[in-house]
Amino acid sequence: MAIGLVAGFIGGLFGVGGGIIVVPALVLLLGFTQHHASATSTATIVASSGAALATFALEGAVDIPAAAVLVAGASIGAWWGAHHLHRISEVWLLRAFTAVMVLTVVRLVLV
Amino acid sequence: MTVVALILVGIAAGVIGSSLGIGGGLIFVPALVLLLGFDQHLAEGTSLAVILPTAAVGAWSHHRQGRVVWRTALGVGAAGIVGAIVGSRVAFSLDGVVLRRLYAALIAVITIEMIIRSFRLGAGPQEQDPSPEDAVST
């Protein structure tokens, strides 16, 4: 339950799912396999992101049309990734994404 | 223009999420803030509005494959609701700029973890996940 409290708090504070906390915690603390951990984490994220979303919606801080377009794009991307991505090395994808993340941190601090 | 940018961000998040197992929130929030000029709170709320349906669909398909450990999911999920309410209240008690800097600190930590992971992956093929695709490509 402590896992949920921490993950929910991070999720609610930062608008993220909380899988970054739940998945490793289930694997390392409860001995879950990676598959069971990520599946179980997805179910917990439904609950915690729903609760956080309710607060943001009450404060008027949700752009529903933008979210709808993002959902559509993410569905296309996930489908494409599942079918075609094995052609690209995971290492290089991770490196490219890491480089973007470094730039993002710098920009977020400087903006 | 905005719609095109949103679709592209969504596609990128879908590709990265499905292959690297990184949640969309790490992509949506900075993209909305930096590329589309959203305020930090609005970006986070919009990100959550994308995560909820995505996670619901994912949870349903994992459930059908019998991978969700429901006893754990219910306990962690219930605590997650409490944590999420507290976390989101704290978010609204903070100024947008302060919240954005804290968010930057969070993704800095995650980025460091990813750099370590990419070095491990690059260190040798024997350490990679032994999935069939890897067996073919290496």
Instruction: Please report the DSSP string for A93-109 in residue order.
Output: HHHHHHHHHHHHHHHHH
CA distance linking residue B97 with residue B53, whole number of Å: 28
CA distance linking residue A18 with residue A42, whole number of Å: 9
Q: What is the mean pLDDT of chain A?
A: 89
CB of B15 closer than 8 Å to CB of A83:
no
Q: Which of B70, B88, B110 to mutate to test the interface with A (most CBs of A within 10 A)?
A: B88
For residue A20, CA distances in Å to A63, A110, B2, B31, B125 come to 24, 25, 29, 19, 25
Residue B33's domain spans which residues?
2-128
Facing A51 at nearest CB: one of B84, B91, B114: B84
Give me the number of domains chain B comprises. Answer: 1
pLDDT of B130 over the 50 cut: no
E strand intervals along chain A: none
- In the numeric block, which tokens belong to residue A42? 């997805």
Whether B30 sits inside 8 A of A104 (CB atoms) is yes
Q: Is residue B24 part of a domain?
A: yes
pLDDT of residue B135: 39
Closest by alpha carbon to A55, among B125, B68, B44? Answer: B44
Question: Does A22 contact B at CB distance below 8 Å?
Answer: yes
Quick: pLDDT tens for B92-123.
999 999 999 999 999 899 889 888 887 887 76
Helices marked H in chain A — which ranges?
2-14, 19-30, 34-58, 64-84, 90-110
pLDDT of residue B66: 92
Whether B10 sits inside 8 A of A74 (CB atoms) is yes
Q: Is residue B138 part of a domain?
A: no
- In the numeric block, which tokens belong to residue A72? 């559509």
| Amino acid (one-letter) located at A68 | A
CA distance linking residue A34 with residue A100, whole number of Å: 26
**In a 3-state reduction of DSSP, which class is residue A51?**
helix
Backbone dihedral angles phi then psi of residue B73, each to the nearest 5 degrees: -60, -40
Quick: pLDDT tens for B31-53.
999 999 999 999 999 999 999 99
Question: Does this model's pTM top 0.90?
Answer: no
Helices marked H in B35-131 — which ranges?
40-64, 70-93, 96-123
Closest by alpha carbon to A105, among B101, B127, B57? Answer: B101
Residues 48-107 of chain A whose Cβ lies under 8 A from any Cβ of chain B? 48-53, 55-57, 59, 61-64, 66-67, 69-82, 85-86, 89-91, 93-95, 97-98, 101-102, 104-105, 107
If you average pLDDT over residues A47-70, what whole number do you get?
96
If you average pLDDT over residues A60-83, what whole number do you get?
91
If you average pLDDT over residues B71-84, what whole number do you get?
96
CB of B24 closer than 8 Å to CB of A17:
yes
